[in-house]
Structure 1
Amino acid sequence: MKATIYTLIALIAFAANSLFCRMALAEGYIDAWNFTVIRLLSGAACLGIIMAIYTHNLKRKGTFNPAILSDRGSWRSSISLLVYALCFSIAYVELDTGTGALILFSAVQLTMIGWGIYQKEQLSLLQWCAFIVALSGFVYLMLPSAAVPSLLGASLMALSGVAWGIYSIRGKVCVSPLRTTGFNFIRSLVAIPVLLLVGMSYLKNMSIEGVLLACASGAIASGVGYSVWYVAMPLLKSTQAAVVQLCVPVLAAIAGVLFLSEQVTMEFIVASSLILGAVLVFILNKKKA
Structure 2
Amino acid sequence: MRILLLTCITMVAFAANSVLNRLAVDSGAIDPSSFAMIRVLAGAVALCMILTVRGGGLPVAGRGRLVGAASLAAYMIGFSLAYVTLNAGLGALILFGTVQVVMFAWSALRGAAPTARQLGGAGIAFAGLVLALWPRDGSGGDLVGASLMIMAGIGWAIYTLAGKGSADPLATTAANFVVAMPMLLVLLFGTGLHAAPSGIALAITSGAVTSGLGYALWYHVLPQLRGQTAPVVQLSVPIIAILAGAALLGEAITLPIVIATILVLGGIALTVTAPTVPADHR
Same fold (TM over 0.5): yes
Judge conservation of contact 2:242–2:253 (CA < 8 Å) in 1.
yes
Aligned: 1:183 with 2:172: no
The aligned counterpart of 1:173 is 165
Shift of the 132–208 alpha-carbon distance from structure 1 to 2, 3 Å rule, reads same
Aligned: 1:193 with 2:185: yes
Aligned: 1:271 with 2:260: yes
Judge conservation of contact 1:73–1:180 (CA < 8 Å) in 2.
no
> 1:13 offset after TM fit, Å?
0.4
Q: Please show how residues 137-156 of structure 1 align to structure 2 within 5 Å.
A: 137-145=128-136, 146-156=138-148
Judge conservation of contact 2:114–2:276 (CA < 8 Å) in 1.
no
Q: Specify every segment of 5 or more residues in structure 1 that has no aligned partner in the other structure, as ranges.
A: 57-65
Judge conservation of contact 1:111–1:162 (CA < 8 Å) in 2.
yes
Please give the alpha-carbon distance, in whole angstroms, between the structure 1 residues aligned to 2:125 and 2:254.
19
Judge conservation of contact 1:73–1:181 (CA < 8 Å) in 2.
no
* The one of 76, 101, 107 aligned to 2:92: 101
The aligned counterpart of 1:35 is 35
> 1:193 offset after TM fit, Å?
3.4
> 1:167 offset after TM fit, Å?
0.5
Please give the alpha-carbon distance, in whole angstroms, between the structure 2 residues aligned to 1:287 and 1:237.
16
> 1:286 offset after TM fit, Å?
3.0
**Number of residue pairs the alignment of both structures matches:** 276
Q: Please show how residues 159-238 of structure 1 align to structure 2 within 5 Å.
A: 159-195=151-187, 197-198=189-190, 200-203=191-194, 206-238=195-227
Q: Specify every segment of 5 or more residues in structure 2 that has no aligned partner in the other structure, as ranges.
A: none
Judge conservation of contact 1:107–1:162 (CA < 8 Å) in 2.
yes
Identity of counterpart residues, as a percentage? 37
Judge conservation of contact 2:60–2:176 (CA < 8 Å) in 1.
no
> 1:41 offset after TM fit, Å?
0.6
Judge conservation of contact 2:87–2:141 (CA < 8 Å) in 1.
no
The aligned counterpart of 1:61 is none
Normalising by structure 2, what TM-score? 0.93
Judge conservation of contact 1:33–1:195 (CA < 8 Å) in 2.
no
Judge conservation of contact 1:6–1:231 (CA < 8 Å) in 2.
no
Deviations 1:71-116 (A, max 9, x none): 6760111000001001100000100110000000001000100101
Judge conservation of contact 1:82–1:188 (CA < 8 Å) in 2.
yes
Deviations 1:11-48 (A, max 9, x none): 01001100100000111110001111100110000000
The aligned counterpart of 1:281 is 270
The aligned counterpart of 2:241 is 252
Please give the alpha-carbon distance, in whole angstroms, between the structure 2 residues aligned to 1:20 and 1:81.
18
Please give the alpha-carbon distance, in whole angstroms, between the structure 2 residues aligned to 1:5 and 1:288.
33
Shift of the 73–214 alpha-carbon distance from structure 1 to 2, 3 Å rule, reads farther
Q: Name whichever structure is richer in helix by fraction.
A: 1
Judge conservation of contact 1:34–1:195 (CA < 8 Å) in 2.
no
Q: Which amino acid in 2 is paired with 1:260?
A: L
Normalising by structure 1, what TM-score? 0.91
